[in-house]
Amino acid sequence: MEYAERTLGEAVRLRRSELGLSQAELAGRLATTQGNLSRWERDLTEPRELATYADLAEFLDISLEELALLIGTSAHRRVLRELRRLTG
């Protein structure tokens, strides 16, 4: 799967959808809550547990380096949204 220019949330949501999994099902596989997964998919937060990053990379079938790029894109977009909000 190619995730270029996507955020972590977009990639997770796309892959979950392709596999026909609910948020609850994927959350269970990743040992997290559905609420956490929902926040990740909306690019509001990233996982707190380091082990989860390895699980996400495996789920997305990508390297940890590629996962870091997705996280970077998520953070970049989050900062831009906040700057736009602050500067009106």
Q: Over the stretch 7-55, which tens digit does the pLDDT of each residue have?
A: 999 999 999 999 999 999 999 999 999 999 999 999 999 999 989 999 9
Q: What total of structural domains would you count in the chain?
A: 1
Both tokens assigned to 34 = 């559905």
In a domain, 17, yes or no: yes
CA atoms within 13 A on the CB side of 54: 3
pLDDT band, very low/low/confident/very high, at 1 (cuts 50, 70, 90)? low
pLDDT band, very low/low/confident/very high, at 2 (cuts 50, 70, 90)? confident
In a domain, 71, yes or no: yes
In a domain, 2, yes or no: no
Q: What is the pLDDT, as a whole number, of residue 37?
A: 97
Q: Over the stretch 59-86, which tens digit does the pLDDT of each residue have?
A: 999 999 999 999 999 999 999 999 999 9
Distance CA 49, CA 11 (A): 19
In a domain, 77, yes or no: yes
User: For position 81, which CATH number holds?
Assistant: 1.10.260.40
